[in-house]
Structure 1
Amino acid sequence: MPGTPAWNGTSATVSRALRLIEDGVLDRSSIDALCERLGIGARQLRRLFRKHLGTSPIQVARMRRADFARRLIETTRLSMTHIAEAAGFGSIRRFNAVMNEVYGCPPTALRKGSVHGAVGLELEIPVRRPFAWDALLVSLEATATPGIEKVADGRYHRTARFKQAVGEVSASFDEDDSALRVRVSHSLNSYLLDVVSGVRRLFDVEADVAVIREHLAGDPLLDTCLQTTPGLRVLGAFDHFETAVMTLLGQHVGDEELAELARRINEKYGKPINASLDGLTHVFPTPYALSTAHLEAVGVPKRRSKSIQGLAKAVHEGELRLDGSPSLDEALRGLRAVPGLGTTTADYIAMRVYREPDAFPANDRRLRTVASSNGGSLAAHELEALAERWRPWRAYAAMCLWERARCNGTESPTYFQGNRDTITPEAPEQVA
């Protein structure tokens, strides 16, 4: 499981399989479907899991469902039937059998004392210490998509859509218990696994910060950040498509312009929602909606409009996967095939959406500046060469450098800005 020595040393194929299982692929489809997405046979995948993890893909998925069900039992008042359904068990009989096998008692015995209710359900996601919650929240607040995301009272709030269900999700960090407290509206009860997977991705919960820190510690460019902001994660993506679109839309424009363009797109092509929190008004448009959208009508530059349409069309038609199935090279090739989507934007998306720990946007202006020792700016190839010493954790090194720039007061608190102030809105980014 994540965090074990077996996980850290596993092959790239097993790592990709684990990410897909964590995202619920085996809750919705078969082992053969998982293998098809990985491009290998079922027997080979089972052999790799047995070799590297000492277990099978089905057992990993079963333990994931059992652990999720246990958390629902202990922290909610949902009925056992509803919990069995929400955790992905095919029947109450199967649910009872698995819980007995895993925990040595019937599921009803796991239910503790009274559960204090709130609006919707409250779930708990354990997080390894240290965890740089404040730094992540500052960045999320600065980059919040209008109508979709909001930071208020120390919590991250957002709207969410899973198939036809829409609702709200919010998260805060409990320092005492080192856990994320996640509130989910009742309308999303059937998609709790998807919600938890999205939150885990967004806050990079699986990161083994001790291993990463050990590798990067002592580096003169990174040490200050590692000391002052321990546990910094790579911001991920709650919604793969939304994050990819916002990353593409956000290149070469300022924060205020990005917020205004996003607001217009959401109001015209998103779905309205009656949220409990002021400021949350829509769920993000679907790939189909944006594949046919006339974004120039809401102020998106022509080249950027075509790029977003191309991305949306590729996702909608299944030509481009934004989950964990492609390797880093495959992901970058697929992204760069989208007209107008350049190398730097592809690297950002690889970091956030594909959760590639070694993705590195060497052409990023701020990275090239903060890594320079003479007050100037490194060339992209110079930074690429320098970053070799940070493999296989270059994405975390990039986060440290961005955080260093933010703490120096020379940049806004946003990550993944790219070259907004050095390229005009209509100037094309270098495309591979």
Structure 2
Amino acid sequence: MYMLPHLTRTYVRQTVPMYGEISKAFSLLEEHPARNYSIPCANTVEVTRVWFGNNSYITGLFDKPRSNSETIKLHNEKPKYVEVWVDKIGIRDIKFLNSETSQDSVQLEPKWVYTFPFTGNIHVKSKGVFIERIAGSTINSCRTLWNSSKSPLIFEQEPFVQMTSQPKEYFVRFVPLHHASAISVGFLHGAMVAIVSHGGTNYDLPHYIGTWAAVIWAHFPLLLDKGEEIHEVWSVSHRDLNQGTRALVLRTQRKLVWLGHYISTEIWSLLQVTHIASSPVSALYYSDPSTSFSQIMQPHTIKRVEHPAQLEFPTYRTPVPGHGMDTCELFYSEAPLEGVIQVQSCWDTGRCIGLLLQYERYSQTVGEFRYDKTISDYFHLPCSIGLTQKEHDSTSYVHIEFSKEIAQLDSTGDDQMMPMRGIVVWWYSRNMSVVSIILPE
């Protein structure tokens, strides 16, 4: 005897439409075999569409009206570029443009966009009812796909990225920095998987949610009203293995910060440093981690600089904490306590996981500072810092407080109240923080 599984009403409502969509897709696939073709586009361009789920997909391009077709280019239009929006299923939209980029806002949906010069003909690669790609010349030419229509979609040369085999398509994420008050870099098992720029009231909270829960974030603030901007960028990767970017090193007019996991002297000899930029940086872009190991990308024309000519080995003021811990999951940060004008603390389930310290002309973070956690109000002109830290199983508890009263150096035990002097050192991983305050001699 066969027994049907128990189905809730919600599951039935979701399953029946899905089954209907898949059945419709199979029927359409039988009617439309995969093929390649070209159409002249000097005059009118028409497209047909099909709805699959909540999205519509272009199923054909034509130079004459067809049944149920819509016009996407008029006969008197003379565009310079063609912009194509795609996802894993097919082409979602096509636009004819007079400039390299459209005026659309950054897309939050999982779509990619690429652009090619308009030459009068379009080559179509169909995989049945859905169109896989279109191009202006050969359909097999290498192309760059971006996650944003605000990105520089046309390159004189393809971006450079070191891979064991060169793909036919680069999936690239674009990070604008024009009005960024900070950037956050996410790492998973020591490899960079995401870069987010923050600015104004937009802190890109969906990006935190869209990444893996185990991602550890390194935060790099910029004091825009004081004219602080990124002047130099280096990426650090393994010399021989394709393991993605292991660290980013950023320099402004006032600070140089390593964003990446702990690097031992043994590992350092196996790494190479690539110089990305040496002038004010308006944007960063990196290969999408879902298609390959994520790497910061650069034009071919940028000269690659090998260690140790431009960048020295990172130094650590305190011993590496923990025994048997994967050092690829361990991050180091430090900042001076003197000269702090105001400070914010970042909290997660009652634990302080990081600080944002603002000085006269720049800002700096220690620990993990992320906007999807609880951020305190600014504490202005702190004179003392209170530190409590305890270990429990595989996690650690850190509590930080500030006071306007000047503390005396007579605290003992786990609870310490110290004046705002010296250096705060903060080692951190996903569930661990080890904080030290190094007083001046």
TM range (shorter): under 0.3
TM-score normalised per structure 2: 0.25
TM-score normalised per structure 1: 0.26
Higher helix share: 1
Q: Which has the larger radius of gyration?
A: 2
Structure of higher RCO (CA pairs closer than 8 Å, 6+ residues apart): 1
